[in-house]
Amino acid sequence: MTSEAVGDGDEVMPVSAAEQHKALAHPMRHRLLFALERPATVSGLAASLRTNKGTSPTT
């Protein structure tokens, strides 16, 4: 799988496999993906998403 440059340092990675769709469909991963549009620390992300740093989504 390759990514392509869009501009301003952004990259777009095509999502085509069922496993990729499943991973991105998880509510916490979806929230995390959008939260990562700006620089953040793990602690900052956990606070803004109102979760624990050690919490991992179950699939």
Model confidence band, residue 56 (pLDDT cutoffs 50, 70, 90): low
pLDDT of residue 50: 92
Model confidence band, residue 25 (pLDDT cutoffs 50, 70, 90): confident
Burial 25-48 (b: 16+ CB within 10 A, else e): eeeeeeebeeeeeeeeeeeeebee
Q: How far is the first Cα of the chain from the last one, in angstroms, to the nearest whole number? A: 22
Model confidence band, residue 33 (pLDDT cutoffs 50, 70, 90): confident
Q: Tell me which of 5 and 25 has the higher pLDDT.
A: 25
Question: Which residue, among 28, 27, 54, has the nearest Cα to 42 in the 3D structure?
Answer: 54
